[in-house]
Structure 1
């Protein structure tokens, strides 16, 4: 069924009337499940329209008020809807557009978000189609911005539900679920074929990886997972919440993506060495270094993130000196034997776990972050003793934040040289070493027979040595 509707009413504030969001809430009856869908649409708007990161919106303690007002089960459903709506945003958009005579008006963003929330449930989640449609229609009727479109919402979503068995596979085969700028940069960096593999991996739910203190095979068997070639333990679906798993309270392991566990290992044997971990929170790499016997100074500018780092170290029975400071201008009393700089970045390597990233970032953000990384690296190398190593890393897929930035640094700093990663340097690393001796992983790497156990974060790391 092809449907259309009148233009959306213009947004605006009327003197003496409550804001639209309050009128929306007041107009709706207490329908079971409706608060979840309203929260999902509101948070989807915050991500797509206001470029607000999803993790902050769904933080259990400091998230969006509409999210925090829900119980734990409903919060879980909101997050599932949002992750799905973002992961498949372009496919959902195409299925909606196919049922409209003309595009939705530019100011009909609220209507668009209601449709996306409804379609995400119908197409990908274990929610009865009728419930997803009825709740979307009720939501539209109760919002003065969308009330006149209730029939359109009903017709579009019912059409999607009726035809999904035939239409969804076709859309997934022909539509790229990412914004154009993101696709273009991936193709420029990796070529069309590799970019397509990375984008396909972004549609898959990410497995959970653990770094364990000892005996990874035992923990893999305990969790019903596998041991990766790099030594991390991987689980496709957790048997219980992380804090309820065996070994958590005893500090036997911590959650850390397999790719994120590689940069700290590039420093080699750090036992007894003084090592700075810059931009350290939440502390996975600090824990690796401390567990390997390093005398670690963990530096981060965020007090709340450092509190979390300290709590993780306490649980793990590990120690580090904690310093709250901006690594871009902090100067230690003594130089270090080694430095790990895991710099702030666009996080484009983490899209499997954070599908909001392509929709909240832009090329301008990447340029800005690359500039920050260069300033951090310029300062961090001054903390090294002569002959000491520094590992620069981040979880970006974009060469502007990785290969290009380090090449520029080396061309302007002859006192530093690449300390190339060697083939066979440690288990599982060979497939990720570039011809230049750098480390580069992508979400299309670490392929397993089971797709649910495949992939890893996109990471870049370069090991440099001070020569003077």
Structure 2
């Protein structure tokens, strides 16, 4: 009997707790009492927990081939089997080690199931290469099945990505799916971090204030984030937030915890732009987190907050309208729309196996909500003002098709697509290089769609619409 490793034990415990509570497994393992004290064990536990979460449907599919009664396997035992199967299939672990440790994981939860675990995991070890190659699929479908399995994603989702972005982009995304995403930060121009000993890494986008350290963990350990000296944010998300910085008034819809609010406030400081900003969000808790961070960072000047369902902005903005003595229209409106998050699955591995095809189908729950929010947001844009629609999705149904549906509507007839590099911020000398980068990155219609790749930022979409009348 081999000794069960602390990393595998911690991963299993975190996975079970996340399943019970509905928490994100990353959040569970960030607690000091949940992760191993040794840094290497903690890193391996996180790798296992995130990997199992990301690939659970594929891992279960393979396990179920060898379980006599799959539906009768209790969750602790199944989760332990998932950990070992993930190691075997996706980490290419030595079979004798992964099988032995998997048996001990199962034994720790149900001693009577250890023999079954040994037999099942040995068969998984034998089948892993053929499973990833989709040798069981029909010849004409083998490539599609193999691509989905190698990424640990549902087949339907990979097919949607192919339909939306093409074969090459889908291969790029799936090749990166189980690898870590780069970690970038946005620095506070009022209170820059004194300790940058983590060192600058590769510049992913030429963007003032954006910092991608060579060692993200070391930078986080300096506590710069806790002191308000920086905020963690994907590079492309920072780029989209920067697009929305302009003199005058700004309404941000879907502000969340305020990452883009922070970036916009920081960039307006760098550009010397006088502006006011209303950050609107459904969750009162997130509004308070946003407020607190901005105040502690010294970036709260000119920023106010509104809470409520932004499908009904007249209700959400009642206090703003009352203070102005009129129904306010804004020079810039950013709609950071709720979406599938399919561009951020590397960071949020719960997404692919929680998402349902109907959620993102034409007329589905998410596209319908996005169009309703975009239509409502448009009513608050001043003549000559800009409306930026943004998601962290790679699916066309949530992105350009929502924009096209809006432009074809009565509310959209006063708007037209405008290139992102023509946004006011990129006319400033400090941001010329960023505008030139965007000019190369946007598509032929002037919209931005990025696709995750190895070592590259997440998948984000942005369209800039200008109100002509």
Q: Distance in 1 between matches of 2:74 and 2:156?
A: 21
Q: Distance in 1 between matches of 2:352 and 2:378?
A: 31
CA pair 168-237 structure 1, distance change in 2 beyond 3 A: farther
SS of 1:113's equivalent?
helix
**Would you say the 8 A contact 2:180–2:346 is kept in 1?**
yes
Q: Distance in 1 between matches of 2:226 and 2:193?
A: 19
Q: Report what 1:379 is aligned to.
A: 376
Q: Report what 2:152 is aligned to.
A: 177
Q: Distance in 1 between matches of 2:8 and 2:179?
A: 28
Residue correspondence of structure 1 range 437-456 to structure 2 within 5 A: 437-444=446-453, 451=454, 454-456=455-457
| Deviations 1:418-463 (CA, angstroms, capped at 9, x unpaired) | 122348761532343011111111103xxxxxx5xx1211111111
**Would you say the 8 A contact 1:230–1:258 is kept in 2?**
no
**Would you say the 8 A contact 1:299–1:322 is kept in 2?**
yes
SS of 1:225's equivalent?
coil
SS of 2:379's equivalent?
helix
Q: Distance in 2 between matches of 1:222 and 1:261?
A: 20
CA pair 235-159 structure 1, distance change in 2 beyond 3 A: farther
TM-score by length of 1: 0.75
110, 115, 119: which one aligns with 1:151: 115
Q: Report what 1:459 is aligned to.
A: 460
Q: Distance in 2 between matches of 1:210 and 1:33?
A: 28
**Would you say the 8 A contact 1:220–1:234 is kept in 2?**
no
Residue correspondence of structure 1 range 112-261 to structure 2 within 5 A: 112-121=78-87, 124=91, 129=98, 132-139=101-108, 141-142=110-111, 147=112, 149-157=113-121, 175-213=150-188, 222-231=198-207, 232-235=210-213, 237-240=215-218, 242=220, 244-245=221-222, 247-261=224-238
User: Are 1:306 and 2:287 an aligned pair?
Assistant: yes
**Would you say the 8 A contact 2:198–2:214 is kept in 1?**
no
**What root-mean-square deviation, in Å, do the aligned CA atoms of Structure 1 and Structure 2 show?**
3.8
Q: Distance in 2 between matches of 1:97 and 1:386?
A: 59
SS of 1:443's equivalent?
coil
Q: Distance in 1 between matches of 2:366 and 2:28?
A: 28
User: Are 1:409 and 2:385 an aligned pair?
Assistant: no
User: Are 1:337 and 2:337 an aligned pair?
Assistant: no
SS of 1:227's equivalent?
coil
SS of 2:166's equivalent?
helix
CA pair 427-76 structure 1, distance change in 2 beyond 3 A: same
Q: Report what 1:87 is aligned to.
A: 54
Q: CA deviation at 1:194?
A: 1.9
CA pair 305-181 structure 1, distance change in 2 beyond 3 A: same
**Would you say the 8 A contact 1:140–1:150 is kept in 2?**
no
261, 267, 276: which one aligns with 2:251: 276
Q: Distance in 2 between matches of 1:37 and 1:335?
A: 50
**Would you say the 8 A contact 1:417–1:464 is kept in 2?**
yes
CA pair 351-386 structure 1, distance change in 2 beyond 3 A: same
Q: Distance in 2 between matches of 1:373 and 1:41?
A: 32
Q: Distance in 2 between matches of 1:134 and 1:206?
A: 31
| Deviations 1:262-296 (CA, angstroms, capped at 9, x unpaired) | 2222235x14x111111112111111222214311
Q: Distance in 2 between matches of 1:205 and 1:457?
A: 11
Q: Which blocks of at least 5 consecutive residues in structure 2 are unaligned?
A: 135-145, 322-327, 423-432
Q: Distance in 2 between matches of 1:44 and 1:158?
A: 28
- Higher helix share goes to which structure? 2
Number of corresponding residues: 410
**Would you say the 8 A contact 2:26–2:50 is kept in 1?**
no
Q: Report what 1:296 is aligned to.
A: 277
CA pair 324-249 structure 1, distance change in 2 beyond 3 A: same
After the TM superposition, which of the residue ranges 324-333 and 177-186 deviates more from structure 2? 324-333
381, 393, 398: which one aligns with 1:396: 393
After the TM superposition, which of the residue ranges 333-342 and 132-141 deviates more from structure 2? 132-141
**Would you say the 8 A contact 2:11–2:46 is kept in 1?**
no
Q: Distance in 2 between matches of 1:288 and 1:456?
A: 17
SS of 2:231's equivalent?
strand
Q: Report what 2:142 is aligned to.
A: none
Q: Report what 1:316 is aligned to.
A: 297
